Amino acid sequence: MLDDRKLDVLRAIVEDYVQSQEPVGSKALVERHSLGVSPATVRNDMAVLEEEGFITQPHTSAGRIPTDKGYRLFVDKLTDVKPLTGAEKRAIATFLEGAVDLDDVVHRSVRLLAQLTQQVAIVQYPTLSRSTVRHVEVVTLTTARLLLVLITSSGRVEQRVIELAKQIDDETVGELRARLNTAVVGQALTDAAARVTSLPEAFHRDDKAVVTQVVAAFAAAVADDRSDEKVAIGGTANLVRFGEDFDRSIKPLLEALEEHVVLLRLLGEATSPSLVTVRIGHEVPHAQLAATSVIASGYGPDKQSLANLGVVGPTRMDYPGSMAAVNAVARYVSQILSDA
């Protein structure tokens, strides 16, 4: 049904439309791309492509624009991930390598991604639920107030202030710290809570109550769902580039950006690192973002994915370029995390 030339035409339409943001006509197509046929032939092909639902015309006397289905075919079959230039790769490396801690990595990544793609970038913080415990620290603030600090393998630091019902002496704190660490360091956070339930038993009965309190706080901290919702957003200013249909594209997107839970659903289930997923228009799991596409990838050390990152923009976007950028940043971040 769709011979090679028709696919060429579709590709040309997508490329031109992405660049010009205007419906593309048969004449302009043959001028800009050397298709080797006349506009009339292209028109015939276009008619078929439209019948098949890959392109559409906004109004009768205008050119064609790709449909979601058209973009989908383009992404799946008609294009490859555009390799980054050496300069881009170097830029990524130098931009990310100065990072001083996890927060820094995340923020640099989001800025970098926004700059590379000229779109809105989103980076999810490494999820606690897929991390392991690197260290637990118990700090005495006052005699009746402790600070619990949890450091994960991915570099995240969670802290909780605990108001104790009863005083606790430094010696007990030291023992508690040691036992906590022995029990959970290296363990997955999802298992950590279970590992500490029996800890209070080892303590003198006078201290059991406070220790139980600390253990409970620790268990609550590692189980806190909200911690997995942490994301960084950047490049919002890039929204202005497609300011035409404000209400249809920018407004819902700005609103979605405020809702971190929505964003995480957009990024989707974590895929394995260096596997970029693309969701186009209606495929995006959020009804208000039907004019939006999402390009996402998991990232994390090793094979498993710790969290997701990606970009969000109008369906009319540079897919090859954005996919390459997302892929590259995900890989670099993964590498940095496995170093650290």
**Which C-beta is closer to a copy of itself: that of 49 or that of 123?**
123
Closest approach of DNA to the CB of residue 17, in Å: 11
Closest approach of DNA to the CB of residue 287, in Å: 26
23 binds, among a copy of itself, DNA, none (CB under 5 to 8 A by kind): DNA
Closest approach of DNA to the CB of residue 44, in Å: 5
Alpha-carbon gap, residue 280 to 60, rounded angstroms: 25
Residue among 308, 318, 300, 325 at smallest CA distance from 267: 308
Given a contact cutoff of 8 angstroms between Cβ atoms, the answer to whether 281 and 75 are in contact is no
Element (H, E) at 122: strand 120-124
**Which C-beta is closer to DNA: that of 38 or that of 338?**
38
Alpha-carbon gap, residue 265 to 192, rounded angstroms: 26
**Which C-beta is closer to DNA: that of 23 or that of 320?**
23
Q: Can you spell out the DSSP letters for 39-99?
A: HHHHHHHHHHHHHTTSEE-SSTTS-BEE-HHHHHHIIIII--PPPPPHHHHHHHHHHHHT-
Phi then psi dihedrals of residue 19, to 5 deg: -80, -45
**Which C-beta is closer to DNA: that of 39 or that of 252?**
39
Q: What residues line the site for a copy of itself (CB under 8 A)?
A: 100-102, 134-135, 137, 139, 141, 147, 149, 151, 155, 157-161, 224, 234-237, 239-240, 243, 246-247, 250-251, 254-255, 257-258, 340
86 binds, among DNA, a copy of itself, none (CB under 5 to 8 A by kind): none
SS3 137: strand
Closest approach of a copy of itself to the CB of residue 155, in Å: 8
64 binds, among a copy of itself, DNA, none (CB under 5 to 8 A by kind): DNA
Alpha-carbon gap, residue 55 to 65, rounded angstroms: 5
Closest approach of a copy of itself to the CB of residue 332, in Å: 17
**Which C-beta is closer to DNA: that of 38 or that of 182?**
38
Q: What residues line the site for DNA (CB under 7 A)?
A: 5, 23-28, 36-41, 43-44, 46-47, 50, 57, 59-64
Alpha-carbon gap, residue 157 to 185, rounded angstroms: 14
Closest approach of a copy of itself to the CB of residue 199, in Å: 20
Alpha-carbon gap, residue 243 to 206, rounded angstroms: 66
